Amino acid sequence: MSKVIGIDLGTTNCCVSVLEGGTVQIIPNKEGGRTMPSVVGFTEKGDRLVGQIAKRQAVTNPANTLHAVKRLIGRKYNSPEVEKMRGNVPFEIVEAPNGDAHIRVLDKTYSPPEISAIVLQRLKQAAEEFLGDTISEAIITVPAYFDDIQRQATRDAGKIAGLTVERIINEPTSAALAYGFDKNKNEKVAVYDLGGGTFDITILEINDGVFEVLSTSGNTFLGGEDFDQRIIDWLVETFQKENKIDLREDRLALQRLKEGAERAKCELSSVSETTINLPFIAADPSGPKHINIVLSRTKFEELVADLVESSVEPCQKALWDAKLQPGDIDKVILVGGQTRSPIITKTVTELFGKAPSTEINPDEVVAMGAAIQGGVMSGDVKDIILLDVLPLSLGLETRGGLFVKLISRNATIPLKNTMTFTTVVDNQQSVEIHIMQGEREIASANRSLGRFDLVGIPLAPRGVPQIDVSFEVDANGIVNVSAKDKMTGLEQAMQITPSSGLAPEEIDRLIMEAETSANMDVKAKDLILQKNKLDSLIKNAQRAMSEYGRTMPQEQQQQINTALNNAEVYLQSENLDDIKMALADVEQQTNKITEALMAAV
Amino acid sequence: MDSNNKLRDHFPEEMNLKSSIDDFLRELEEKEKDLNISDEMVIEVEDDEIEESEIPEFLKTDLPSSSGAFGENLYAQIKMHEPEIKAVELTSQVQPSQLKELENRIGELKTTMARRQMDFDNYRKRIERERGDTFQNQISNLATQMLPVLDNLNRALDAASHFKGEQSNGFQQFFDGIALVNQQLSEVFSEMGIQPVMTVGEMFNPHFHEAVATENTNEIPPNTITEEFLRGYRLGDKLIRAAMVRVAAPAG
C-alpha cells in the first residue's frame, strides 16, 4: 500500500508530488524549494552534487556540471538535436559504441539515463523524508513527442534510481489530469507549455478516459529565461546610455540585474508597473551610480513581443495538424512559470478564442497530474482510467524509402494489425522487413527499431507473392512483428523490446552503483553536519572564553585555548572519526568553561 | 493424605446446598485450585459413576428429560414454522452477486479508511517535525527580505568611504552615524543567530558559496576563494543566502 510518487522530470527544473489524503502535495526538497534545477555536478573529490548546489558550482566546474540532459536522452550522437547541443554546452558529449549520445565526465562515460537517475534519486530521497516511508514506485512524465526509445530510457533512469516506473505519461496529459475532466464528455484540450528553456503546444482529445495526442508542436529553444534576458538587456542599455558604463563586464552587477529582472517580471504579472531599484550598482570618478527605473507592463510586453509572437506559429501548426479550428478547442491549459505573464494569457485567449485555465500553479501542474496517476496505480483514486496509447505510429519501410504505417499513433494498446505486401521485382526471393516508428512519410526521417529478412520466397513475377506482415503490441509496449508468405506458409518473426540502448545487465550494474553512491551522499551529508556543529561549538567556546575566561586560572585558560585551537584544525579534515573526536574534545572543554563559570557565580 | 483431608475440610456437606449455577461454578473453581488441576490433566469420569439422583436440581430443570425427545420436538417446531421461514427467506433474499458487490464495497471502504488513517498519521508526524522548524523558517524568511537592505547600506558606506577626505566635518559626523546604524543592524542579525558565511581564504563549498567568477592563478591552491562579491548568511546549519564569490583556478 506504499505511495506512488509523480515526477515531472523537466529539462531545466523538476518537481515531485504525491497524493495524500485525497489531495496532491508538492514535496519540497532539502533546500526548501518546491522545484529543483535538473543539474548534476561531479567534483574532483568524487562528490556528486544535485540541484541548486550543483548549479552554484557550475562556474568553477563547467566541464563536469551537466544540465539539460533531457535533450540527450534516448538520442543518437549524430542526430540533429544532439549536434545542436554539442555546440552549446561546456561538457563533453561522446558517441557510445552503439551510436548513442553519452557524456564524458572526469574520465568516465555516463549514459543520459544514469545522469537523470541521479536527479531522480534525489527526488526519491526527498519524498521518503517527506512521507517517512520508503518509496519504490513512480510515474514519470515525458514530452508528448518522445518516442519509444526515449520513453524506455526514462524508464531505465527510474530503474537505476531504485524506482519502478509504473507508467510513463505525457506531460500535457498529466497537466490535463491535474485539472480533471468530465468522463461523459468528449473534450479537446490545448496545453500551452512555456517552460524555462522549451516551448511545447499539444492538442489532446479526451474521450472516455482515453487521452489522445492529436498533434504536438513547439520550439525547443524558447523559454522563460529568454524573457528575463530581454529585461536585463534593456537595463544594461539604458544604464549605458545614461552613465557610459557597461554593466555586462561586472559579474556581480549582472547577477543583481538578473535577480532584479526576474523579480520585476513576476511583479508585472499582477501590477501594471514596477520599480527596479538597484542602488550602488556601479561607480565612476564622479561618484556612485544607482539604477532606479520604472518598468511598465506595456514596456515589458514591447520588449518580449517577438518572443511571444514566436509561440503563435507552432500553435497554429498544431491546430492545422489536428485538423481543428480554434473554436473546436474546449479548454486551454497553461503550463510553465512564464505563462503567468498577462501577455501570454492575452495571446492564448486571442488564439483559441477562450480564456485559459490558470487555477493550478503552472510550475507544479504536470507533477500534480502524475501524482494523481500514481494514486490511480496505488488504488487511492478510483474513478479515472487512463489507457495506454501508442505515442508514435509503427510501420515498415517500403519501396522507394517510403514509410507505411501499420499501427497509427494514439491507438490504445494492446492491439494487433496485419497488412499484405508483395515483391517489387521479378523472382525476388527475399524481402527485408524494416520496422520503424515515427510520423514522417519518408522512412529515413523516422526511427529504426529493427530489421529482418524473410527468405525462400518461390520464384514468381513481381506483385504475385503475398506476404502478410502483422504487428502486435502487448500491454508492456513490446512489439512482435511477423512476416508470412501466404503460398508457402514460410514465416519469420522478431520481437522488439523497448530498449534505451542500455543492456539489462548494464542497468543492473548501474543500479548497484547508484545505491553505493547514495550511501556515500549520506556520509558526506553527515560529515558536513558534524563539521558545522564543531564550527559553532568552537566559536561559542571561544566567545565564552573571551568574555568570561579571565575568571579562570591562567593555566586552565591556556589549556582550553590550546585545545580549541587544535580542534579548529579538524574543520578542514574529511575524516568523520577525527571530527567526532574533536567534537568530543571541544564538548569537554565547554563543560570545563561552564563549570568554572558556575563556580565563579 | 494431607491434601485430601484439607479438601474435605474445605468442602463440607454444603455441596448439596448449592442454589445457583454461579455458586456451583465458583465452588468448582476453588476445587480446581486446591486440586491443582491444569489443562494438561485429564480427569476421567466413568459414566456409571454419575447417578440421576446426584445431578443438582437446577440442572434437571434446565435440561429436557430426554435428549432424543428434545431433538424431535425442535424438528417438529421447525416443520410447523416452515412456511413462515420460507416467506422470510424470500423477502430478505440477497442475490449472491449483490452480496459479492456489497462485500467488495466494504472491503474497498476498509482499504480507503486504512489509507486515510496512514496519510493522517504521516501528516501529523510531519507537522510535528515541521513545528520545530517554523520559528527558524520565519527568521530565515525575514532575513531573506532584510538582507538586501543591509547589502545596500554597506554599498552606501563603501561608496562614501572613497571620498571621505574631501568632505566637510558635518558629513564626516553623518557618515560615522550611519556606520553605527549599520553596525547596529549587523548586531541585530547576529543576535537572531544569523552568521555570515566565511569566504576569502576558505575552500569553495557549493553548500554555502555560489561561484560567479574564477581567477586563474597558481599562487594559491585551486578552489580557494579569492574575493567575496556578496556576503552570504546562515542560520545554524541552514543556509539563508549563498555567498557570491570568485574562486581560484589553476592558470594555463
Chain B residues close to A5, C-beta within 8 Å:
none
A to B CB pairs, distance under 8 Å:
82
Quote the CA–CA distance of B33 and B40 in Å, as a whole number.
14
Chain A residues close to B156, C-beta within 8 Å:
279-280, 288
Please give, rounded to a whole number of angstroms, the shortest distance from the CA of B214 to a CA of chain A: 6
Beta-carbon contacts of A345 under 8 Å, excluding residues fewer than 6 positions away, are A334, A339, A355, A356, A358
Judge: B237–A59 Cβ closer than 8 Å, yes or no.
no
Judge: A49–B206 Cβ closer than 8 Å, yes or no.
yes
Rounded average pLDDT over B116-144:
82
Judge: B118–A1 Cβ closer than 8 Å, yes or no.
yes
Q: What are the pLDDT digits (tens) for A518-556?
A: 777 777 777 777 887 888 888 888 888 887 777 788 888
Residue A479's closest CA among A431, A526, A447, A510?
A447
Quote the CA–CA distance of A570 and A579 in Å, as a whole number.
6
Judge: A132–B126 Cβ closer than 8 Å, yes or no.
yes
Judge: B212–A53 Cβ closer than 8 Å, yes or no.
no
User: What are the counts of helices (DSSP H) followed by strands (DSSP E) for chain A?
Assistant: 15, 26
Residues in chain B: 252
- Among B115, B120, B211, select the one facing A59 at the smallest CB separation: B211
- CA distance readout (Å), B201 to A328, B221, B223, B247: 64, 10, 10, 10
Rounded average pLDDT over B146-150:
88
Rounded average pLDDT over A389-418:
83
Q: What are the pLDDT digits (tens) for A546-556?
A: 877 777 888 88
Chain A residues close to B116, C-beta within 8 Å:
21-22
For residues A268 and B22, the model is more confident at A268
Contact indicator for A477, A496 with CB cutoff of 8 Å: no
The SS3 call for residue A472 is strand
User: Over 70: is that where the pLDDT of A558 sits?
Assistant: yes
Residue B75: what pLDDT?
74
Contact indicator for A338, A358 with CB cutoff of 8 Å: no
User: Over 50: is that where the pLDDT of B4 sits?
Assistant: no
User: Over 50: is that where the pLDDT of A85 sits?
Assistant: yes
- Among B125, B207, B244, select the one facing A53 at the smallest CB separation: B207
The SS3 call for residue A4 is strand
Q: What are the pLDDT digits (tens) for A590-601?
A: 888 888 777 776
Quote the CA–CA distance of A358 and A375 in Å, as a whole number.
23
Rounded average pLDDT over B12-26:
59
pLDDT band for position B33 (cuts 50, 70, 90): low
B→A interface, C-beta within 8 Å: 108, 111, 114-116, 118-120, 122-123, 125-126, 152, 155-156, 158-159, 162-163, 203-204, 206-207, 209-214, 223, 229-230, 236-237, 239, 242, 244, 246-247, 249
- Among A133, A255, A380, select the one facing B212 at the smallest CB separation: A255
**Residue A197 buriedness (CB in 10 A; 0-12 / 13-18 / 19+):** buried
Rounded average pLDDT over A10-32:
89
Give catalytic residues of A, as residue numbers.
8, 70, 171, 193
Rounded average pLDDT over B5-31:
57
Judge: B120–A21 Cβ closer than 8 Å, yes or no.
yes
Residue A138: what pLDDT?
95
ipTM for the predicted complex comes to 0.70
Give the residue from chain A lying closest to B118, CA to CA: A21
Q: What is the pTM of this model?
A: 0.73
Q: Do you find a cis peptide bond into A414, omega within 30 degrees of 0?
A: yes
Q: Which of A77-86, A428-437, A506-515 has the lowest mean pLDDT?
A: A506-515
The SS3 call for residue B72 is helix
Give the residue from chain B lying closest to A129, CA to CA: B126
